[in-house]
Copies of this chain bind each other. A is one copy, B any other.
Amino acid sequence: MPVYKAPVNDTLFVLNDVLGLERYGNLQGFADATPDMIEAIIGEAAKVAEEALFPINLSGDREGCTRNDDGTVLVPNGFKQAYDQYVQGGWIGLAVPEEFGGQGLPYTLHAAVGEYMSSANMSLMMYPGLTQGAIAAILVHGTDEQKATYLPNMVGGSWSGTMNLTEPHCGTDLGLLRTKAVPQDDGSYKISGQKIFISAGEHSMTDNIVHLVLARIEGAPEGTKGISLFIVPKFMVGEDGSLGARNGVSCGALEEKMGIHGNSTCVMNYDDATGYLIGAENKGLSAMFVMMNEARLGVGLQGLSIAETAYQNAVAYANERIQGRSLSGAKAPDKKADPIIVHPDIRRSLMTIKAFNEAGRAFVLWTALKSDIAHRSQDEAERQNADDLLGLATPILKGVLTDKGFDHAVMAQQVFGGHGYIEEWGMSQYVRDARIAMIYEGANGIQALDLVGRKLALNGGRAVMAMFKEIGDFCEENRGDEAMVLYTKGLKKGLNDLQASTMWFMQNAMAKPDNAGAGSTDYMHLFGLVTLGYMWAKMAKAAQTALAAGDPREDYLKAKLVTAKFYMERIMPETALRKVRIEAGADTMMELAAEAF
């Protein structure tokens, strides 16, 4: 019953009209990505998402995963076939260098495609998603031998990957972790300990699973300075690449979760498992952060993905379900009632989600393009600027798109009334699935702290100044454009609130760091509101430009202008509230004794 159609036109509008991808032909891999090729790839991705992944999304939720007594894990019916179709399409390696079996295409394209895949089946996409994170870490920190041993099979999808950070007593605070690594004479390590919440930790969709595991080498310093990263394959890999004996790692249990039932979330037991150091000794956290940053973009994308699917279903229901009459007179007089899309309160929900999703899509692709520039540009200043903005945008994208993605899945569910609460309609699944994205890869409170506590001050505030400059320049460039006033006015007002709040932190959080913590979540959302508002202003500009040029997508482009206006009128004003909260500071918040709660 649920529906999903990949928003191909919208992706192409962002890539071509808003970001002007063709202008980046000088970046490695971009020359191959001609408009025609992009359209073909996006279209093919849409097909895979709609036809292979989406039809088993609801059934995957119902069936869930099962752990057999021997520790093997069964995934839902159809997952293996769909996974095979996905990897055979070469989707894992879309943006991976060709020397490791990838296609070397823009990461931006990978992100565009990723949205569709997670919209269609988030649980299933987590299997290759984790592999992609592990690939990123090995690409950056692995030795040539490690790259040669692991990457081709991972890129090809016959091996998958995982990230093993969390232990029962430590999640955010990795300094507490206890899993230990004992050096062996042959240069390898024996890894022992327990990891929990390991997504895709065990299954038999792939021939091998490459676990990346944080552990502490015997005798290493306490805290985060004594953590190293290890490769622990499920099956040992011979020098010729052949698979050997089972390694000492196994799935002890599956977690019973609120959602993402199709993904096997495992308790993983390491019992003298053979592991290989990746990156430098005691520098495991920075190696892991390569995966984390990649993963955070992927998780932010999940927020958008689920909100998009939930939205599409709410729109379909609002057009079909007849109930009551329009306040301004019957709109479907031939029927016993009007479709509920005529009711303003239903419109309010649909417009709100639409306004966030379309700006969220632009934000994701804008950020992904920064990643491409940061990694592929020949110009050092350009690389640095892009890298600054990527680092700044990552926690905002993760925190805001997943908070809003969840809120909007709930909002879309509400459109269904009682039917939204019944599992067969699928809306419950979107809500339950979307919920995890606010938590994993760093709970959103941690994203907010990363933004306020690290990213703001980094390099003397270079990144945030660059962002303010980019938005300010845009407003300045369009100062003379009468048709843009509606959008730049709202954007400027939001930017002022953001700049004032940034200043407030500078003046009040140095001496009293709790003031930063107290305002961090509000600041993250304030930054998100302004950034998404910037995306709307850019989209409005692109739509006006295209309309002026006689573009045939007239209705589509005009709808962009209406939605941009809606954002500026009803959503952007939230910046003022966020500013007030930030400026309230920490005093009242921290005043009560712990016992008073």
Is the beta-carbon distance between A513 and B172 smaller than 8 angstroms? no
The reply to whether the CB of A375 lies closer than 8 angstroms to some CB of chain B is no
The reply to whether the CB of A418 lies closer than 8 angstroms to some CB of chain B is yes
Is the beta-carbon distance between A591 and B577 smaller than 8 angstroms? no
The reply to whether the CB of A41 lies closer than 8 angstroms to some CB of chain B is no
Q: Which residue of B lies closest to A416 (CB)?
A: B439
Complex Cα distance, B592 from A571, in Å, reads: 17
Take A328-B514, A345-B445 as given contacts and tell me if A354 and B439 are in contact as well, using a CB distance cutoff of 8 Å: no
Take A588-B562, A588-B565 as given contacts and tell me if A428 and B258 are in contact as well, using a CB distance cutoff of 8 Å: yes
Complex Cα distance, B423 from A337, in Å, reads: 41
Q: Tell which of A23-31, A145-153, A182-190, A578-586 binds the partner.
A: A578-586
Complex Cα distance, B336 from A565, in Å, reads: 51
Over the window 305-326 of chain A, the binary record of Cβ atoms lying under 8 Å from chain B Cβ atoms (1 yes, 0 no) is 0000000000100110011100
The reply to whether the CB of A39 lies closer than 8 angstroms to some CB of chain B is no
User: Of B175, B344, B413, B576, which one neighbours A518 at CB under 8 angstroms?
Assistant: B344
Whole-angstrom distance between the Cβ of A174 and the nearest chain B Cβ: 10
Complex Cα distance, B347 from A521, in Å, reads: 12
User: Of B256, B422, B566, which one neighbours A257 at CB under 8 angstroms?
Assistant: B422
In chain A, positions 551-595 with a C-beta closer than 8 Å to chain B are 555-556, 559, 562-563, 565-566, 569-570, 573-574, 576-577, 580-581, 584, 586, 588-594
User: Of B173, B512, B516, B574, which one neighbours A324 at CB under 8 angstroms?
Assistant: B173
Take A323-B172, A414-B439, A589-B351 as given contacts and tell me if A424 and B256 are in contact as well, using a CB distance cutoff of 8 Å: yes
Q: Which residue of B lies closest to A595 (CB)?
A: B555
Take A347-B590, A577-B573 as given contacts and tell me if A341 and B514 are in contact as well, using a CB distance cutoff of 8 Å: no
Is the beta-carbon distance between A337 and B173 smaller than 8 angstroms? yes
Which residues of chain B are near A347, meaning CB under 8 Å? 518, 589-590
Q: Tell which of A91-99, A429-437, A471-479 binds the partner.
A: A429-437
The reply to whether the CB of A108 lies closer than 8 angstroms to some CB of chain B is no
Take A514-B328, A517-B327, A577-B574 as given contacts and tell me if A341 and B414 are in contact as well, using a CB distance cutoff of 8 Å: no
Whole-angstrom distance between the Cβ of A364 and the nearest chain B Cβ: 21
Which of A322, A344, A563 is packed against the most chain B CB atoms within 10 Å?
A: A344
Is the beta-carbon distance between A514 and B414 smaller than 8 angstroms? no
Is the beta-carbon distance between B197 and A418 smaller than 8 angstroms? yes
Take A171-B323, A256-B422, A555-B596 as given contacts and tell me if A414 and B344 are in contact as well, using a CB distance cutoff of 8 Å: no
Complex Cα distance, B283 from A207, in Å, reads: 68
Which residues of chain B are near A251, meaning CB under 8 Å? none
The reply to whether the CB of A531 lies closer than 8 angstroms to some CB of chain B is no
User: Of B171, B315, B337, B345, which one neighbours A448 at CB under 8 angstroms?
Assistant: B345
Take A255-B422, A596-B555 as given contacts and tell me if A323 and B580 are in contact as well, using a CB distance cutoff of 8 Å: no
Take A327-B513, A566-B588, A588-B562 as given contacts and tell me if A418 and B440 are in contact as well, using a CB distance cutoff of 8 Å: yes
Is the beta-carbon distance between A257 and B423 smaller than 8 angstroms? yes
In chain A, positions 418-469 with a C-beta closer than 8 Å to chain B are 418, 420-424, 428, 431-432, 435-436, 438-440, 443-445, 448-449
In chain A, positions 530-564 with a C-beta closer than 8 Å to chain B are 555-556, 559, 562-563
The reply to whether the CB of A343 lies closer than 8 angstroms to some CB of chain B is yes
Which residues of chain B are near A333, meaning CB under 8 Å? none
The reply to whether the CB of A246 lies closer than 8 angstroms to some CB of chain B is no
Take A323-B171, A345-B520 as given contacts and tell me if A597 and B354 are in contact as well, using a CB distance cutoff of 8 Å: yes
In chain A, positions 324-362 with a C-beta closer than 8 Å to chain B are 324, 327-328, 336-337, 339, 341, 343-348, 350-351, 354
User: Of B256, B319, B584, which one neighbours A423 at CB under 8 angstroms?
Assistant: B256
Complex Cα distance, B573 from A102, in Å, reads: 52
Take A173-B323, A255-B422 as given contacts and tell me if A512 and B328 are in contact as well, using a CB distance cutoff of 8 Å: yes
Complex Cα distance, B590 from A566, in Å, reads: 10
Is the beta-carbon distance between B166 and A589 smaller than 8 angstroms? no
Is the beta-carbon distance between A439 and B423 smaller than 8 angstroms? no
Take A323-B170, A337-B176, A592-B562 as given contacts and tell me if A449 and B576 are in contact as well, using a CB distance cutoff of 8 Å: no
The reply to whether the CB of A417 lies closer than 8 angstroms to some CB of chain B is yes
Is the beta-carbon distance between B517 and A343 smaller than 8 angstroms? yes
Complex Cα distance, B418 from A254, in Å, reads: 14
Is the beta-carbon distance between A589 and B577 smaller than 8 angstroms? no
User: Of B315, B323, B432, B448, which one neighbours A258 at CB under 8 angstroms?
Assistant: B432
Complex Cα distance, B319 from A594, in Å, reads: 7
8 A-B residue pairs with Cβ-Cβ distance under 8 Å, sorted by A, are A166-B418, A172-B417, A173-B324, A256-B424, A258-B428, A343-B445, A347-B589, A410-B435
> Given A166-B418, A328-B514, A345-B518, 11 more contacts at CB 8 Å?
A257-B421, A257-B428, A258-B422, A343-B445, A344-B590, A348-B589, A350-B597, A410-B435, A417-B439, A562-B591, A570-B588
Q: A interface vs B, CB < 8 Å?
A: 166, 170-173, 175-176, 196-197, 255-259, 315, 318-319, 322-324, 327-328, 336-337, 339, 341, 343-348, 350-351, 354, 406, 410, 413-414, 417-418, 420-424, 428, 431-432, 435-436, 438-440, 443-445, 448-449, 512-514, 516-518, 520-521, 555-556, 559, 562-563, 565-566, 569-570, 573-574, 576-577, 580-581, 584, 586, 588-594, 596-597
